[in-house]
Every structure is written in structure tokens, then in C-alpha cells.
Amino acid sequence: MRPGLDAILFDLDGTLVDSVGLILDTYRHTMRAYAADPLPGDDVWLARIGEPLVDVLAPYAAQFGVPIDTIVATYREHYVLHHDDRTRVFDGVFDVLEGLAARGVRLGLVSGKSRVGIERTVSFTGLDRFFRVRIGADDCPTGKPDPGPLHLAAARLGADPARTAYVGDAPVDVRAAKAAGMWAVAVRWGPFPPEVIDPLGPDEVVEAVADLARLVGVDP
């Protein structure tokens, strides 16, 4: 593990769990429910993965003339209905987390999801046992790429941001980590190509979960 590093924060969707397809389908469903024509392309939603759902959907609520709570409820109803069939942990993730936990590394989770969404995913997948600190969109007044959620997680872990890494797949994750003064680790198994991530200057880029294991000092 990087010398001097004693805490690691993780993003959830696209980093620990394969759920991006479900997220994109749910955005499409939500737009169709309000007769958006033409539908925004998936690139629109991908560009904002990791941000709080309310922030992403607010412009569309205004466009459709419906309360933001209504459009968010439409999204969440579809997401919950299909969650268990469309969500799985990436191969090798449990091995990495178990290795880190065995070594006493402090672990935290920072996601753009609501707390209810986080709890649903970590409970269903079994990831809940690794993370006593879980920060979601409703735990902090600002969302990624603002560093606030990462700083809150570090504070609850009793960790120094300068000795903490944040591991994520999305542009907002890299930006948030750098803004927080943390070691920014970008993973390649999410939906974002190198030309989107690399110009942001992550401190490390990890191609596969096994490479992440080696990077943080855990035998794959």
C-alpha cells in the first residue's frame, strides 16, 4: 500500500458494483414517463454519474413542469423494481476489501446515491460489513465533485485527508479526490474511457481489480 496511507474511501456504482446499465435504463424510463422527445443520449447521464440525483434531474423537472420530488420518485420506483436483478459486485472486489479489513485499514464509502439507495445496494450485495462509514447525497449539503462528502467521510473515520485515498470510476470521483487533497485512484472497469479520465490527472489508474489489489498491498 502507498506509504503513509491509512484510510481508503470507495465510490459505489461503477467501482464496487456493476450497476451503470441499470442507472442508464432508469434515466431513460424516467424521461419516457414525461414524454421527453427526443430522449437525452446516454452520454448526458454518464457525464453526471456520481452526482446527486436531485441535481441531475432538477432541470428536467423544470422542463416538464413537475415537482422535483415527483420526477425523483419516478426514477426511484423503477430503480428499486429492477435493482436486485441488475446489480452485482465486480469479480475480485470482496477479496480486496477482505484483505484491507484484515490489515486494519479504515474503509469508507462515498456515493452520489441517497442513503436509502446506498443501504439497499450494500445490504443486497453483502458489502455492508466492510463500511461503517457511508456517505450519501443526503448526508452532506454539497455533492461530488465538491470535496465535502469526502472530507465528511474522512472525519468520521478519524483519518487525515492527506493520508487517505479515494477510489472511483467517474470524472466526478477524480475531481472530488483532488479537491479533497486525497490520493485519486481511477479504475478502468467503469463506463468511462481513458480520454475522459486521464486528462483529469488521477494519481493512479488501475486497469483491473487484481491491479487494485496489488496497488493497495493486498495479494489478489
User: Considering only CA atoms, which of 191, 182, 196 is closest in space to residue 144?
Assistant: 182
CATH code reported for the domain at 7-19+88-215: 3.40.50.1000
- Listed as own residue / partner, the contacts of 69-73 with beta carbons closer than 8 Å and 24 or more positions apart are 71/30, 71/34
**How sure is the predictor about 51, in pLDDT bands with cuts at 50, 70 and 90?**
confident
- Rounded Cα gap, residues 195 and 30, in angstroms: 29
pLDDT of residue 126: 98
Across the strands, what pairs with 106?
7
Query: Which CATH topology does 20-86 take?
Result: DNA polymerase; domain 1 (1.10.150)
Looking at the chain, the domain(s) classified CATH 3.40.50.1000 span 7-19+88-215
Q: pLDDT tens across 200-209, in order?
A: 999 999 999 9
| 220 pLDDT above the threshold of 60 | no
Inter-residue contact 9 to 165 (CB < 8 Å): yes
- Give the strand pairing for 7-10 and 17-18: unpaired
pLDDT of residue 47: 87
| 59 pLDDT above the threshold of 60 | yes
Report the share of the chain in percent with pLDDT over 70.
97
> What is the mean predicted confidence (pLDDT) over 133-146?
94
Indicate which residue of 6, 11, 91, 95 is catalytic.
Answer: 11
Is 91 a residue of the active site?
no
Looking at the chain, the domain(s) classified CATH 1.10.150 span 20-86
| 131 pLDDT above the threshold of 70 | yes
pLDDT of residue 218: 67
| 5 pLDDT above the threshold of 90 | no
Is pLDDT larger for residue 5 or for residue 206?
206
pLDDT of residue 3: 60
Q: pLDDT tens across 35-49, in order?
A: 878 889 999 999 888
| Straight-line distance from the first to the last Cα atom of the chain, in angstroms, rounded to the nearest whole number | 13
Report the share of the chain in percent with pLDDT over 90.
80
- Rounded Cα gap, residues 48 and 145, in angstroms: 10
